[in-house]
Structure formats: C-alpha cells, structure tokens
Amino acid sequence: MSLITNIIRPEILDLSKYHVPDSTGFVKLDAMENPYTLSPQLQQALAQHLAQVALNRYPVPSYAALKTALKQHFGIPAHNDVVLGNGSDELIAMVSLACAKPGAKVLAPIPGFVMYAMSARLAGMEFVGVPLRADLTLDKLAMLAAIAEHRPAITYLAYPNNPTGTLFEVADIEQILHAVGDSGIVIVDEAYQPFAQASFMPRLAEFDNLLVMRTVSKLGLAGIRLGYMSGNQALLDEFEKVRPPYNINVLTEATAEFMLEHVAVLDLQAAQLREQRSLLAAALSRLPGVEVFPSAANFLLIRVPQAEQVFVKLLKQKILVKNVGKMHALLENCLRITVSTPEENSLFLDALSASL
Ligand SMILES: *Cc1c(COP(=O)(O)O)cnc(C)c1O
C-alpha cells in the first residue's frame, strides 16, 4: 500500500513487532517475573489505599513523595535526584530521543538487552554491538577499541547482563567510563540489582558521565511499569524535558508508594529467589550435557544439546522458557530460564530431564 510507504520511515517498515507469546496455562519462566503474589492482608490494604486515589485528577508531575520514597528505599545518594519512566523501557526511549543528534551512535555489548538497539533505531541512531567473549564475559579490549572508533553518545552496560546473567567486572566498567569521558554517557542498567546485590549507585559522584538505571519490574512489580534513573543533575534536567509530564499514572504512583512501605516483603522474596537460583543452578549442572552459566540475576542461561527440540518438548509439557539460540551466534543452543518458586523449579527440572 503506497500510503504506508509514503508516510512510514523505512527503518520502521523494516522492524518486526515485539513478540510476546501467549502463556495461558503455562508455567511461565520466560520473562523474569517474580512468581510470588501478595498476601491476602496486603492485597486488602493495597485495595483500600488505591480506593482513595483521585482518578479524576492528573498526577502531580513532580512525583515528589514517590521520588523521596524511592531514594530512601533503594540507596540513591542524598544529593542525587531521579527521573521516572513508565518502566525502564521508557527511560531508554527518552535518553535516545534526547541524544539522537545526526550521526550519534549507541554502543552495547551483544548479546544484550534488545531494547537498546531497538530504541536507538527508533530514534534514528546507529547501534554498534560489541560481541562478548565465548564465555559470555565482557571483551574489555574490544569495548575500548569500539569506543575509540565510534565515540558513542550512549554506552549501555546491563549489570548484570540480560540474557547472559553475567556481572561484568567493576574494573572493566570503570575503564569504560574513563574511556568514554565527556564524549558520551554510560548507562549502567541495574534491572536485576535485587539479585546481584552489586551496584554503581553509590559511585555516581565519581563519574559525571555515569547514569544508573533501575526498575521495580524484576523485584515483583512488573505490572505497574516503573523505572528510575539517577546521575549528574545537569543530564537529568535535559532528560526531564523529554519525559511526558504525566508518564507515571496515579495508580502506579500510589501502588509504588504503598509497596515501598512494605518493601521488606519484596526483599524477602528476592532473597528466596537468590537461594533458589543456587539450588536450581546446582541441580541443572548435575544433568548430563547441560552447561550452566554463572548468573547474578533471577534467571539462568543454560546450554543443552538440541536446544530447539528441548524447547518444543518443554512447551508440550506446558513449560515456557525463552529460546535465545537465534539471538546471537554466541548463544547457540542456549535457553534462558527464570528462577521461580521451589515447586515451579522442580516442575521445570523434571520436564527438562525428560526432554534431554
Ligand atoms: C527487564 C529489563 C529491563 C526492562 O525493565 P522495565 O522496567 O520492565 O521496562 C531493562 N533492562 C534490562 C537489562 C532488563 O532485563
């Protein structure tokens, strides 16, 4: 249809839709969701809290109380402010929009989080992917060479990385921050911080070009869509100009404020998932032919013979994991499994044993 080609940008025509499989009736281990729900008492209290929300009013776009609570509970330095996003996906989109000068580039290790490349392309920027090493650790020398060659406006480092679970070396990240200098920003994406228990947030004052991005999604609140980013105030002021003024809706705001008062519940769930991660990794590595990569996140990346067939056999047993084998050559025969409850983990283990 010529109407479409007349008006839609060619780089959008080239994209395919972000595919989310229908997971009804499945044990859902594909999206790094927290499997636990709230207790009935907490659900009741939350319902009462939400019933008070003024749905007829626009949110107050300063989100001052929410920001204060986020800063207190998530260890953001007192001098640093935060920018809020409708999930960190929106923060990534905002940064791209703000930095998309003609010729500006975005750089990240690959395989990595797909939204970095996606958002760069949507904003009309070139994406430069720097392959990890075969053991899925960061190739620091290749990163430094690519930074020198491309002078990227934005460098993303997911800490730990998705879909590999790798926690890159602190010294490598420091060197990248210095190499980028004032020609670009380095976004350390700490989506899995509750499971990594390592962070660059306390180090913001050391680097003018460092931004730390987080989300409440993996902690157990994926449905409310809330991300936050901190860093140098002059940068945050620019990103604030790009932020849609009411991007955090009143229900998200009220739910987040309520849950931050009860954040111990979520912290306990994260601790349980960290423990389950160790148990699941140990059990998987005892299975013949299964290679388990080290993970600091709430998922495990494994390599199995004939991963494509194993994936299909798991589906037949109503278990949905993520088949990442086609994402990148380094991930050949790899599957990514979200760590879940002891019950779901053992359902998965049994199904996998029967599928190998
Ligand atoms: C899941 C994930 C996000 C997205 O988080 P939302 O806040 O749900 O948009 C960002 N970065 C990485 C590395 C992730 O894995």
Q: What is the pLDDT of residues 93-137, one digit of tens each?
A: 999 999 999 999 999 999 999 999 999 999 999 999 999 999 999
Q: Please indicate, yes or no, whether residues 100 and 169 belong to a single structural domain of this protein.
A: yes
pLDDT of residue 20: 81
pLDDT of residue 141: 98
CA distance 40 to 104: 50
Cβ–Cβ contacts within 10 Å for residue 141, how many? 11
pLDDT of residue 69: 97
Residue 18 has pLDDT above 80, yes or no: no
In degrees to the nearest 10, what's the CA dihedral of 190, 17, 152, 184? Answer: -50
pLDDT of residue 215: 98
Residue 305 sits in which domain range? 22-39+264-355
Mean confidence (pLDDT) of the chain: 97
Residue nearest to atom 2 of ligand 1 (CA): 191
In angstroms, what is the span from residue 302 Cα to ligand 1's centroid? 20
Convert 187-210 to b/e letters by CB count within 10 Å (16 or more is b): bbbbbbbbbbeeebbebbeebebb
Q: Please indicate, yes or no, whether residues 234 and 350 belong to a single structural domain of this protein.
A: no
Query: Across residues 188-211, what is the average pLDDT?
Result: 97
Residue 21 has pLDDT above 90, yes or no: no
pLDDT of residue 230: 98
In angstroms, what is the span from residue 218 Cα to ligand 1's centroid? 8
Cβ(162) – ligand 1 distance below 6 Å: yes
When divided into structural domains, the chain yields a total of: 2
Query: Across residues 269-278, what is the average pLDDT?
Result: 98
CA distance 6 to 4: 5
C-beta separation of 238 from 99 below 8 A: no
Q: Please indicate, yes or no, whether residues 257 and 291 belong to a single structural domain of this protein.
A: no
In a domain, residue 50? The reply is no
Return the ligand 1 atom nearest residue 217 CA. 8
In a domain, residue 271? The reply is yes
Domain end marker among 261, 290, 306 = 261
Cβ(85) – ligand 1 distance below 6 Å: no
In a domain, residue 51? The reply is no
Q: Please indicate, yes or no, whether residues 201 and 83 belong to a single structural domain of this protein.
A: yes
Of 355, 47, 3, nearest to 347 (Cα)?
A: 355
CA distance 30 to 35: 11
Higher pLDDT, 284 or 14: 284
Query: Across residues 236-260, what is the average pLDDT?
Result: 97
Query: Across residues 258-262, what is the average pLDDT?
Result: 98
Query: Across residues 199-224, what is the average pLDDT?
Result: 98
CA distance 126 to 48: 48
Residue 55 has pLDDT above 80, yes or no: yes
C-beta separation of 46 from 353 below 8 A: no
User: If you search the block for the tokens 């004032």, which residue do you land on?
Assistant: 182
Residue 336 has pLDDT above 90, yes or no: yes
Higher pLDDT, 61 or 192: 192
pLDDT of residue 146: 98
In a domain, residue 143? The reply is yes
CA distance 214 to 187: 10
pLDDT band at 174 (very low <50, low <70, confident <90, very high): very high
pLDDT band at 17 (very low <50, low <70, confident <90, very high): confident
DSSP 276: H
Q: Please indicate, yes or no, whether residues 93 and 136 belong to a single structural domain of this protein.
A: yes
- The pTM assigned to this predicted structure is 0.97
Q: Please indicate, yes or no, whether residues 253 and 290 belong to a single structural domain of this protein.
A: no
Residue nearest to atom 5 of ligand 1 (CA): 88
Cβ(227) – ligand 1 distance below 6 Å: yes
pLDDT band at 14 (very low <50, low <70, confident <90, very high): confident
Return the ligand 1 atom nearest residue 226 CA. 7
In angstroms, what is the span from residue 217 Cα to ligand 1's centroid? 7
Query: Across residues 64-75, what is the average pLDDT?
Result: 97
Q: Please indicate, yes or no, whether residues 135 and 192 belong to a single structural domain of this protein.
A: yes
pLDDT of residue 294: 97
Of 217, 196, 198, 219, nearest to 265 (Cα)?
A: 219
Tell me whether the omega of the peptide bond preceding residue 160 falls within 30 degrees of 0, making it cis: yes
Mutate to test the pocket of ligand 1, among 88, 187, 228, 300 (most ligand atoms within 8 A of CB): 88
Cβ(31) – ligand 1 distance below 6 Å: no
pLDDT of residue 11: 85
pLDDT of residue 53: 98
* SS3 of residue 36 by DSSP: coil
pLDDT band at 86 (very low <50, low <70, confident <90, very high): very high
Q: Please indicate, yes or no, whether residues 92 and 146 belong to a single structural domain of this protein.
A: yes
Mutate to test the pocket of ligand 1, among 82, 94, 115 (most ligand atoms within 8 A of CB): 115
